[in-house]
Structure 1
Amino acid sequence: MKRLTLLLLALVFTTSLWADETEGDRTTKGQIAPDFEVTSLDGQVFKLSDLKGKVVLVNFFATWCGPCMQELPELEKQLWPRFKNANFKMISIGRQHTKAELNKFQSKKKFTFPIAADPQRHIYEKYAEKYIPRNYIIDKTGKIIFQAKGFSQKELDEMMEIIEKAIKE
């Protein structure tokens, strides 16, 4: 029985190593980003198609997601201060969270970047089927130039390089 359990665990692990890295995606790098409109917790209307000419970061998270809770403070500390005054916009969208839930979350966390609710996953489902956190960098023409799921410092460093380069172009 132990041997069978170990074999099954090994199979699951190795299968995940070979899993398609695009699993759960509904978008691809190079395509025009799906348009959406959302109002942030502080009342700002964020309509993606109105942001042509700016570099945009769209981040999807959930308050219960461990990697999201690692990523958001790093976005606050490293990315947001570096680009918030540049030709750049960012929105962090709480997947399947209500505005009330996010207001409670925000009162504890005190992030300074814009946060919005997507209680029915209408925005998220334009971009992905599953997995969070997710990040999408959209260039000045509205094309997705970077997309990723999960969180690592290496990915955050890569995102900051891509944003910096896209702002300069």
Structure 2
Amino acid sequence: MKKMISLIVGILLLSSLPFYLHVSHKTTDPSPKEGQRLDVHKLESIVNLASSGDKPGVNDVKAPSFTLKALDGSYHTIGGKRDKPVVIHFWASWCEACSVEVATLRKLYGQYKNQVDFLGINVSTEEKPENIEKFVKQNNLTYPILLDEHKHAADLYQLHALPTVFLIDKDGFVLDTFHMVDPLELEEKIRHLAESS
């Protein structure tokens, strides 16, 4: 009889395992429908579009949707229509090139914050919170810093190097993407983004 009860309990536990796994991996964070990953082959079309100066068409690349928590505890969503275009800067505190690029982004944020949203995304799977906060403080960053703790956004955006910047228009199309560029070129790209809004 004891063996029969143990067998029934075992079957019940095993049959409830998928439900437990489903519930335990649900999040209570606010999260709209997540977007599809960027097609890596379309990244080339994004760069070509940016260099031609054309506007995106119906077959061009929509920015993948995601929601991340910021350092201040608020949540920010990327994807879909917005009031302003957005600059997304993927970075890490240990990345020297990120430190160089962020100085120009800070300056451009001061110039264009009324026309363009700026979001820094720390790819923080291997970062200590104190290093992130130190980087933000040392670089006097006042735009929102989002924490990509599980590389979810990095994966959606097919991130392969740091720093990486994405420029996204008000309709949610990716207009340009690039790694470390000359400060004057970066300024020109963001000026163009601001004027397109």
Judge same fold: TM > 0.5, yes or no: yes
**1:111 aligned to which of 136, 141, 158:** 141
The equivalent of 1:148 in structure 2 is 178
Is 1:39 the counterpart of 2:78 in the alignment?
A: no
| C-alpha spacing 1:51/1:121, structure 2 compared with 1 (3 Å) | same
Matched, 1:89 2:117: yes
Larger Rg: 2
The alignment-based identity, stated in percent, is 26
Matched letter for residue 132 of structure 1: L
Q: CA deviation at 1:119?
A: 2.2
Structure with a larger share of its residues in strand: 1
In the TM superposition, structure 1's runs of 4+ consecutive aligned residues that sit over 3 Å from their partners are 97-101
Aligned residue pair count:
141
2:151 to 110, 121, 125: 121
* Highest RCO, 1 vs 2 (Cα 8 Å, sep ≥ 6): 1
RMSD after superposition? 2.1
Partners of 1:101 and 1:43 in 2: how far apart? Answer: 17
TM-score by length of 2: 0.64
SS at match of 1:157: helix
Question: TM-score, normalization: structure 1?
Answer: 0.73
Shift of 1:91: 0.7
Secondary structure in 1 matching 2:162: coil
1:51 shift after superposition: 5.1
Letter of the structure 2 residue corresponding to residue 81 of structure 1: G
Deviations 1:53-95 (A, max 9, x none): 3201111011111211101011112x10111122x21110111
Task: Quote how far apart the aligned CAs of 1:36 are.
Answer: 0.8
Which SS does the other structure have where 1:123 is aligned? helix
